[in-house]
Amino acid sequence: MSAIEIKHLTYTYSKKTPFEHTALKDVSFVVEEGETFGIIGETGSGKSTLIQHLNALIKMKDGEGTILGKSLKDKKQLRQIRFDVGMVFQYPEYQLFADTVEQDVAFGPKNMGLQKVEIERRVRRAIELVGLDFEKFAKRSPFELSGGEKRRVAIAGVIAMEPKILVLDEPTAGLDPQGREDILALVKKLKEEVCPTIIIVTHNMDEIAKEADHIIALFKGEIIYNGTPLEVFSHEDFKEKTRLEYPTATYIANEIRKQGVDIKQVVTPEELVSELARIKEGKNV
Amino acid sequence: MFKDISFGQYYPANSFVHKLDARTKLLLTIVFIVALFFIPSNATNRVDQAWYGYFGYMVTFAVLLVVIIFARVPIGSILKSIKGVLFIIVLMAVINLFVSNQGEVLWAWKRLHITDTAVHTTIKLILRLVLLIIGASILPLTTTPVAIADGLESLLKPLGWIKVPIHDMAMILSIALRFIPTLFEETQKIVATQKARGASFDTGNLFKRAKALIPILIPLFVSSFRRADELAFAMDSRCYNATNKRTKYRVNRMGWRDLLAFLFMNAYLVVILLDRYYWVFEMDRIIFGGWLGK
Ligand SMILES: Nc1ncnc2c1ncn2[C@@H]1O[C@H](COP(=O)(O)OP(=O)(O)OP(=O)(O)O)[C@@H](O)[C@H]1O
Ligand SMILES: [Mg+2]
């Protein structure tokens, strides 16, 4: 069973008004369990609209979809799907509302109707998983934290629901390089310890090239490419068709290739380095 | 962006009425409302005058039809504004139908009765309200909120001479209008986020539902204050101050369209006034003469 299957999904905002706008056109893809799945696309290409379908925040109109075998069109399953798919939105720190970090993180588990003991266990675990000291942070107001800490608390609020699939919409937007790295490390940790299936939406090609097993590239609501990072970034018309940039490593390799050097396609800095080492040795020998 | 204006009723189109100056539309809306109230809505005591006023409503209807055609807005969007107040209209009509004691009793049951005068009064009341709402909806349908705010500021300028802070009020109004779609979008986002955390807003009793709003309202307030702060800072750093001598980025000028519109609507007002005071409902007598009296 695949984690997610979407078939022929089309979605139009403000249908039948002068503001009508088709945000998704005939989108189909499959996410396997245990995969890190990347969604890329320029701003306005429909990424957020797409992921909001994945936990039925937007009702599916045209198309079919199943999440862990449950149909997105089955009203009785919607609640369960919401709990199966954890959703961390763009700038999640703006969702904080409670008096203390502990209460805020407990909001989701409480809504699930869990026992008090279980809620406490999950809250503590989630706060510690995102790398915050429970004793130090639990009783503090979420509004007094730094931006990065707020984001961690917000992510903890989703993690505490122990979803089977975690969707992150631009988790690193607006953070400094260190903050970005921390969040990516956190995502890796969550993948290992909480939910193996992860979907990341991002503008940052370097990050996605490194993290994802599989990516889809959207442009104006349509899937242009669907494949492994290597496959997707190997397309020569990638830039024109998606209006995105290549990952830095791919860009450098492409430039080197233009100089007539026989270099393989790469997507991560590590691959680039080993490729360069291979060429250097080949030449030296 | 289109999302910035997609609230309220504004219906984008490139029509004659859309191109009119907002001030023209504001003034002519007032002219229309004044004219409408010169058409009698309650029948007088005299039975032979029961039909008085219907001619005026016919003229009004024709005028509105012309305006709507020139505004190129779909009838549906106009009917929508009536739908919102339909309940009030029906309620007023029903009350009206039973209160009048004058005229011939058409129907009676215990202490309730309906007279022919009451029927006429009620029909006229409904006509007046419906026409009023249609007429008043033309302005927001064809003018962006920001243009309306600008127009208001310009029209209210004379109040500035008696030290009413018109400019500040206009600034507050346009900032408020500017942020309605932003807040709306923000609200949608927060609702989506909390729903993803399993919040539900449509179950439980009233108290529970009110409590369910807390996770929406608090983030909304927090971000509104943050936005207000940022905006104030941005205005300060651009040396904004609200003196009277500020110039406008968009300068509105009246043109031939505005002249035509003024002539048209004032002609309508004149016809209504003539009908009432000079012809004294001669037209009603000509048209409905057959039914008048007994
Ligand atoms: N509530 C809405 N009403 C109308 N149109 C909308 C709405 N939300 C999004 N859109 C439009 O749908 C399109 C896709 O939006 P979406 O938010 O999915 O883009 P995105 O790929 O997530 O962009 P970004 O990278 O900027 O977050 C955009 O053109 C947007 O203007
Ligand atoms: Mg987005």
What residue ranges do the domains of chain A occupy?
A: 4-246, 247-285
Which carries the bigger pLDDT value, residue A255 or residue B9? A255
**pLDDT single digits (tens) B120-130:** 888 888 999 89
Which ligand places an atom closest to the C-alpha of A203?
A: 1
- Output the pLDDT for position B124: 87
**pLDDT single digits (tens) A253-277:** 999 999 988 888 999 999 999 999 9
- The whole domain housing B73 covers 16-168+251-292
In the reported structure, the alpha carbon of residue B261 is separated from the centroid of ligand 2 by a whole-number distance in angstroms of 45
| Ligand 1 atom 31 nearest Cα | A44
Residues A273 and A259: their CA atoms lie apart, in Å, by: 17
What's the farthest any 2 CA atoms get from each other in chain A? Answer: 69
Residues A270 and B169: their CA atoms lie apart, in Å, by: 60
Q: In sequence order, what are the beta bridge partners of A202? A: A40
Residue B45 has pLDDT above 70, yes or no: no
Please name the residue of chain A whose CA is at the shortest distance from the CA of residue B198: A111
Which carries the bigger pLDDT value, residue A101 or residue B203? A101
Select from A232, A222, A230, A160 the least CA-distant residue to A190.
Answer: A160
Overall average pLDDT of the B228-241 stretch: 89
Residues A85 and A76: their CA atoms lie apart, in Å, by: 16
Q: In a mutagenesis test of the A interface, which of B197, B218, B226, B227 is the best target, namely the one with the most A β-carbons within 10 Å?
A: B197
Residue B7 has pLDDT above 60, yes or no: no
String of b and e for B122-142 (b: at least 16 CB within 10 Å)?
bbbbbbbbbbbbbbbbbbbbb
**pLDDT single digits (tens) A218-229:** 999 999 999 999
Residue A179 has pLDDT above 90, yes or no: no
**Average pLDDT over chain A, rounded to whole?**
91
Is A161–B11 a contact, with Cβ atoms under 8 angstroms apart?
no
Task: State which fold the A4-246 domain adopts.
Answer: Rossmann fold (3.40.50)
**Average pLDDT over chain B, rounded to whole?**
83
- Contacts of residue B14 in chain A, CB cutoff 8 Å? none
Chain A stretch 156-185, residues whose beta carbon is closer than 8 A to a beta carbon of chain B: 157-158, 161
For a ligand 1 pocket test, name from A24, A25, A47 the mutation site with the most ligand atoms within 8 angstroms of its C-beta. Answer: A47
Which carries the bigger pLDDT value, residue A109 or residue B168? A109
- Give the total number of structural domains in chain B: 1
Q: Which of A199-208, B17-26, B131-140, B234-243 is least confident?
A: B234-243
Write the CA distances from A178 to A182, B11, B265, integer angstroms.
6, 47, 66
**pLDDT single digits (tens) B166-214:** 888 888 888 887 788 788 888 988 999 999 998 887 777 888 888 888 9
- Contacts of residue B6 in chain A, CB cutoff 8 Å? 14, 17, 19
Question: pLDDT-based confidence at B42, cuts 50/70/90?
Answer: low
Residue B46 has pLDDT above 70, yes or no: no
Overall average pLDDT of the A101-112 stretch: 94
- Output the pLDDT for position B3: 42
- Output the pLDDT for position B1: 34
* Residue owning tokens 């049951």: B109
Helix axes B22-37, B256-273, angle to 10 degrees: 10
Cβ B16 vs Cβ B259: under 8 Å: no
Residue A109 amino acid letter: P
- Output the pLDDT for position A65: 93
| Ligand 1 atom 4 nearest Cα | A13
Q: Would an 8 Å CB–CB cutoff place B12 in contact with chain A?
A: yes
Nearest-Cα distance to chain B for A177, in Å, is: 24
Please name the residue of chain B whose CA is at the shortest distance from the CA of residue A54: B196
Residues A43 and A18: their CA atoms lie apart, in Å, by: 22
In the reported structure, the alpha carbon of residue A45 is separated from the centroid of ligand 1 by a whole-number distance in angstroms of 7
Q: In a mutagenesis test of the B interface, which of A22, A75, A88, A97 is the best target, namely the one with the most B β-carbons within 10 Å?
A: A97
- Output the pLDDT for position A99: 92
ipTM of the prediction: 0.84
Residue B6 has pLDDT above 70, yes or no: no
Which carries the bigger pLDDT value, residue B158 or residue B290? B158
* B21 falls within a domain: yes
- Contacts of residue A97 in chain B, CB cutoff 8 Å? 214-215, 218-219
Chain B stretch 172-211, residues whose beta carbon is closer than 8 A to a beta carbon of chain A: 186, 189-190, 192-200
Question: pLDDT-based confidence at B44, cuts 50/70/90?
Answer: low
Select from B248, B250, B254 the least CA-distant residue to B26.
Answer: B254
- Output the pLDDT for position A28: 96
- Contacts of residue B196 in chain A, CB cutoff 8 Å? 55, 57, 82, 85-87, 89, 158
Residue A168 has pLDDT above 90, yes or no: yes
- Output the pLDDT for position A27: 95
Which carries the bigger pLDDT value, residue A107 or residue B109? A107
* B88 falls within a domain: yes
